[in-house]
Structure 1
Amino acid sequence: MVFICAGPLSPNLLFVAKLLLALLERIHGLVDFVTANDIETLRTALRERKSHVMVLVTNCPSEEISASIIRNRLSILLVSQDFASLACHSMHMIGANFIGAVRDVTRQVSAISPVASSPGTARLPIAEHDTVHAVATRLMLMLGLSIDDDQLQTACRQVSAENSTTTVIDAQGPTVEKGEDIYHSRAILLPHELSLAKRLEESYGPLMDGRRPASIDIPTEMLIRAEPPHPHLEGTIELLGPSRILTFGPYMHLPIGRWRAELRFNVRDNYSGNEFAMDIYSGDSVLAFAKTRMPREGTFQAELEFDIASSQAPFEVRTFVYVGAIEGTLTIQSLRMTPLGSGAL
């Protein structure tokens, strides 16, 4: 019997996994607890298991693990949290800055999306005011666990410093690794970081609900100017200079499937004419490429269709000026990724 806790790495996910383990130990005694994102780790754990009951935690499953879970119609408990908290957790766990953490969250969300949309998946909602006892009761009902009130209280106290009526957020501080640091970091995020997290949650949020997003809007500040010191994109780009790459990035992730990149840009004062090119790069390969005459001025949209073969590989949308320019400016206004067909979820 395998109980799966899935979701991007977060205080909520780790806390729920510990709470589920405490509940199952009241019922079954010895329970194996395994964290696995690749098939070999999972196979090793299954070979070495000491109990017929296992809690499996996966936050960024490989395609093989996701396929196995879906193929065997296993029940999955999906646990998530707001995007800002996910990014702060990633900052502390991998030592990244906020932009690097945001990229890591898109990797996890994209990898978990096939599992999130599986018919056997149930999402566990957790509000910040929920008590440990309330979440434990919700867990029991969702999983059909049979446990008396004394056992329930014992399990709750095991993960909440002996107080089952404390909130989940307060309980996570001492029981989840770096829990207090994560919530402190979230409280001091800068306004532009909170805005970025909110916009990305609007785009990537449907994936965690098992829904197909209409599109994923990539904030243009996630793109990077090609000239040193490679700042994140803001404002206009001067075309004056030799043929060259203009921008690269965003080094974010998408679920497996077919996508269309839609880049909207504005050109001004390009009197001598030029050529604009754009490609999609991922996994050491150019997935799509197009080149066109750059107009003298106006707002235009370039589109490329491409296939994502692995959600673990970051993608880039790179832009180029193909002829040396003596004047003109270019402003990238928006970048949208739209899923095509039934493959992208």
Structure 2
Amino acid sequence: MEPVTALSPIPSKSNHLALIGGLPCSVTYFAAELCRDLLARKHGACEVIALNDLSEATLEKIAAIDLPAMFLSEIPDAAVVEALSQSDFPILIIDQRVSDASRDFMAAREAKLLDTVRTIARAQIGLGALLEIPRGELVAADQAQSAADLARQIARACDVDEMLAQRMIDERQLDRPLGAVLGAHFTHETPSFSGEPAGLLDELDRFYTFHPERAASPWHMPVDLLVEAAPPYLPATDPLNLLGPARCLTIGPYLYLPSGDWKGVLTFTSSSNRSTNTIGFDVTADEEIKLEENFEISVDGKFSIELHFRISDPYYPFEFRTHLRRGAIDGELRLHSLALERRG
């Protein structure tokens, strides 16, 4: 076996049969299991290889497997996307709402809300790039519909005989709603949210979607995703007390934006200013500070500013920060909204 390195492309091998991509949640894993079963019935066996990066360990595992194999990709990086663009097997992306996947992710891994949102956002960027590969195909996975529909979509894309697919459907009793099948297959309970957490997840659905025609523009990013820069790092939804030395006031959201030119409109309120306070804002992306703006504020009122920046590397997190540039003896600052709009 020839040595491989992290810079090597995925070797072209006839035993590579398909890739299932999807947000890291139960629907994706179940779809991958159906795909593996279908391919094993057709080819006699099928291994599943996780493919999210081209690390040396991943490439060595790929090179070592001679049995029929399929790939599972949840959070693919840019190198994986580039390598898959040069392959020829089916690329199937499971269509899931970010809010549903986030709830499932938190339940299965006992993850916190903000950590989950950032992970899912990163996954969406990579999967969206896979979908742009000409043979990338979006596979519907409506939990109210029959699980057999999902199995048949995968079978058709992987050129599995209808009778062979039907045999699997009958054996697995898939002529039931997908949600019911998942409930029997996985043991964790998906949490339900109300109030602000539910609103935050629903708002993310309006931005992170595999259906561009459904995306909100501009998108009003939930302020809950910004957090105070000092412990205990609470969501920056309450007024920020400016009394004290110069310091960073808020950090976040550490989300991921598609590449292109962006316009942001920040709306905020300043109050209780008995002296002039210097407020600063900056945007970081592509591992650098994209812009910095400073304002001298001596009167109370509601203000808005425009921010223009470009994203070149969508796999690097975007951050919007608020600063107090000089020490203050009074004053409050409240962030109301950050509207983001992709301009090209």
- The normalised TM-score by structure 2 is 0.84
Could you tell me which residue of structure 1 aligns to residue 176 of structure 2?
166
Choose between structure 1 and 2: higher helix proportion: 1
Please state how far the C-alpha of 1:56 moved relative to its aligned partner: 1.0
CA distance in 2, matches of 1:35, 1:210: 27
In the TM superposition, what whole-angstrom CA distance separates every residue of 1:30-55 from its partner, at most 9, and x where no partner exists?
2232111011355324312223x431
1:154 aligns with 2:161: no
Could you tell me which residue of structure 2 aligns to residue 301 of structure 1?
304
Find the residue that maps to 1:230 and give its secondary structure: coil
Please state how far the C-alpha of 1:18 moved relative to its aligned partner: 0.9
Match of 1:203 among 199, 204, 207: 207
In the TM superposition, what whole-angstrom CA distance separates every residue of 1:62-101 from its partner, at most 9, and x where no partner exists?
1011112234465321103232331123224544212221
In the TM superposition, what whole-angstrom CA distance separates every residue of 1:202-237 from its partner, at most 9, and x where no partner exists?
1112xx236786444321011112343321112322
Q: CA 1:93 to 1:132, structure 2 compared with 1: closer, same or farther past 3 Å?
A: closer
1:152 maps to a residue whose letter is: A
Could you tell me which residue of structure 2 aligns to residue 180 of structure 1?
187
Could you tell me which residue of structure 2 aligns to residue 62 of structure 1?
77
CA distance in 1, matches of 2:238, 2:267: 14
Could you tell me which residue of structure 2 aligns to residue 43 of structure 1?
59
Match of 1:140 among 155, 173, 184: 155
Check conservation: 2:286, 2:311, Cα contact below 8 A: no
Please state how far the C-alpha of 1:278 moved relative to its aligned partner: 0.9
Could you tell me which residue of structure 1 aligns to residue 243 of structure 2?
240
CA distance in 2, matches of 1:104, 1:98: 10
In the TM superposition, what whole-angstrom CA distance separates every residue of 1:105-142 from its partner, at most 9, and x where no partner exists?
1121122221123322211112222223222223333x
Check conservation: 1:218, 1:334, Cα contact below 8 A: yes
Find the residue that maps to 2:187 and give its secondary structure: helix
2:198 maps to a residue whose letter is: L
- Which is worse superposed, 15-24 or 260-269? 260-269
How many pairs were matched up?
327
Find the residue that maps to 2:282 and give its secondary structure: strand
Find the residue that maps to 2:245 and give its secondary structure: coil
Could you tell me which residue of structure 2 aligns to residue 291 of structure 1?
294
Could you tell me which residue of structure 2 aligns to residue 128 of structure 1?
143
CA distance in 2, matches of 1:275, 1:155: 66
> Please, which runs of 5 or more residues in structure 1 have no aligned partner?
none
CA distance in 2, matches of 1:95, 1:129: 25
Check conservation: 2:99, 2:204, Cα contact below 8 A: no
Please state how far the C-alpha of 1:256 moved relative to its aligned partner: 4.0
Check conservation: 1:116, 1:210, Cα contact below 8 A: no
CA distance in 1, matches of 2:158, 2:119: 34
CA distance in 1, matches of 2:22, 2:208: 13
Match of 1:104 among 115, 119, 128: 119
1:220 aligns with 2:233: no
Q: CA 1:256 to 1:213, structure 2 compared with 1: closer, same or farther past 3 Å?
A: farther
Q: CA 1:272 to 1:74, structure 2 compared with 1: closer, same or farther past 3 Å?
A: farther
Please state how far the C-alpha of 1:22 moved relative to its aligned partner: 1.3
Could you tell me which residue of structure 1 aligns to residue 36 of structure 2?
21
> Please, which runs of 5 or more residues in structure 2 have no aligned partner?
1-15
C-alpha root-mean-square deviation of aligned residues, in Å?
A: 2.6
Check conservation: 1:111, 1:255, Cα contact below 8 A: no
Question: Residues 231-270 of structure 1 correspond to what in structure 2 (within 5 A)?
Answer: 231-270=234-273
Check conservation: 1:3, 1:76, Cα contact below 8 A: yes
Q: CA 1:210 to 1:72, structure 2 compared with 1: closer, same or farther past 3 Å?
A: farther
Find the residue that maps to 2:85 and give its secondary structure: helix
In the TM superposition, what whole-angstrom CA distance separates every residue of 1:177-202 from its partner, at most 9, and x where no partner exists?
xx331xx233x324322211101111
Find the residue that maps to 2:140 and give its secondary structure: coil
CA distance in 2, matches of 1:273, 1:88: 45
CA distance in 1, matches of 2:17, 2:150: 20
Find the residue that maps to 1:290 and give its secondary structure: strand
CA distance in 2, matches of 1:30, 1:255: 38
1:337 aligns with 2:340: yes
Check conservation: 2:49, 2:62, Cα contact below 8 A: no
Find the residue that maps to 1:124 and give its secondary structure: strand
Check conservation: 2:38, 2:160, Cα contact below 8 A: no
Please state how far the C-alpha of 1:285 moved relative to its aligned partner: 4.1
